[in-house]
Amino acid sequence: MNEPVTLKALERAMHNDELVLFYQPKVCLLSGDVIGAEALVRWAHGEASVLSPDEFLPMVESNGLLHDLTLQLLDQLVDAIVGLRDCTPVKAETPIDSLPPVNLEAHSGLSLSINVAPNDLASRSISNHIAALLQAGTIQAAELQIEITESAVMSNVDRVYDDLVRIKDMGVKILMDDFGTGYSSLDRLSQLPFDALKLDQGMVKRMGTSLQNLDVVRSAISMARELGMTSVAEGIESESVYNFLIAHGCEEGQGYFLGRPMSLTDFRTFVTSAHDFEGSQIGRVHQACLNLLRFRKTLVDAAFCSRVGEGVALQSVAEPGLQSEVARTRLGVWYFGIGQRLNAHPVFNEIEAPLRQVHASGLKFLEELERNQTVAVLDQQLAEIDQQVNRLIVLLHTLERAILASKPGRSPGR
Ligand code: C2E
Ligand code: MG
Ligand code: MG
């Protein structure tokens, strides 16, 4: 029989480390690879029952115990991070051996996120704890992420701002959780130190119910992108939602379709097993086209900024990854990664040369800008880039049609 949830039982559970973290896998939608997990607390209560946070966190919070719990869970998370280091994620299978790392800003392994509340930040002890862990080299900044809900931040901006900035300055990513439920203005959002927006699962689940709801998700993804933040979707429960999110450029996702929250042991097995989260390749090809257009726009923006002397650093307008090797750009991650599964289509292989060319030309263009080249030189370079971009778009459209033509048609009456 289960004990009732009383304060006494809760205190004893905390003392006996019965509150444990479960791990829900996060997947990179660009590559289909497992890139980490969100840690979610569970209470192994009684003999056969596991309580979810909604059933006991309110009591933890109202009795002023949340802060102690967060510190306890952070220690558990750190042990998990260290323990998972030897566990190499099985990447989506492709014919290429030397794949680029899964994340756009790559680090060696998995990244685990923990949920925190405003009080955790306002007291500074979490950020002090993280600073000490990083300083001692126990964990790397890229291995840890912090999640805080939009509504909690928005009603406590003054109390949490300094600590958020402090944590971000340490290189630890900060995710705005349940985005879409807290009424943040665009202006506010752009001033807060978030690296990612986690689209609320209600928003994700509702998107199949009307065109309007679909547009809401689409705009949230573009908003994240325009603000230079990663978009992460929660609550992906079906393949069709997964495919929609890929086709609209959402970068990361989690949900029952990809994996439920699970024990650390099960997560370890999950990471080291093969999964097929390929999803819609058509959606990825469509994104590749849009990325090319954005890439061109980036160059034009950079030229415009330097012409008007606004003092905007080129870095800040350049597409993330543009300045690194071609395989790390958004297009490259797709082409040299999971896109390779399309290499049975002859047109796919025609993409590589112009892709390398357009990337090299873009880099050269930025260099020339920094050297203050004349308008005539820049114009000539941009004309060349336009030709390359147009050629690539034609190839990508041909590939799209080839994929469509190779799909078995839906049989009549189904
Ligand atoms: P959250 O941070 O937004 O976490 C996502 C919640 O959605 C989790 O519920 C997860 O199990 C659930 N979920 C994930 N994918 C799906 C899906 O496809 N369908 C459905 N229906 N649900 C999905 P959970 O674990 O019950 O946690 C609820 C909330 O409790 C969390 O929401 C978070 O705000 C809070 N929480 C959980 N663990 C902690 C913790 O360690 N510390 C703090 N401060 N809060 C926590
Ligand atoms: Mg969360
Ligand atoms: Mg959430």
Secondary structure (DSSP) of 279-337:
--HHHHHHHHHHHHHHHHHHHHHHHHHHHHT----HHHHSPTTTTS-GGGSHHHHHHHT
pLDDT of residue 370 exceeding 60: yes
pLDDT confidence of residue 289: 93
Residue 35 to residue 252: CA distance in whole angstroms: 9
Residue predicted with more confidence, 27 or 278: 27
The alpha carbon of residue 137 and the mean position of all alpha carbons in its chain are separated, in whole angstroms, by: 24
pLDDT score of 414 more than 50: no
Quick one: pLDDT band at residue 323, thresholds 50, 70, 90?
Answer: low
Residue nearest to atom 44 of ligand 1 (CA): 116
The whole-number pLDDT of residue 378 equals 86
Residue percentage of the chain with pLDDT more than 70: 88
Contact 174, 194 (CB under 8 A): yes
Instruction: Summarize pLDDT for 290-302 with one digit per residue, the tens.
Output: 989 988 988 888 8
Phi, psi torsion values for 161, nearest 5 degrees: -55, -50
Report the nearest-CA residue for atom 4 of ligand 1.
Answer: 40
| Residue-level pLDDT at 138 | 96
**Catalytic sites, residue numbers:** 234
For 398, residues 6+ apart whose C-beta sits below 8 A from its C-beta are 347
Mean per-residue pLDDT, 101-122: 74
Distance from the CA of 200 to the center of ligand 3, in angstroms? 6
Q: Considering every ligand atom, which ligand is closest to the CA of 117?
A: 1
Check pocket membership of 237 for ligand 1, CB cut-off 6 A. Answer: yes
- Ligand 1 pocket member 234 (CB < 6 A): yes
Q: Which atom of ligand 1 is nearest to the CA of 116?
A: 44
What does the alpha-carbon distance between residue 105 and residue 183 come to, in Å, rounded to a whole number?
29
Q: What is the pLDDT of residues 198-213, one digit of tens each?
A: 999 999 999 988 999 9
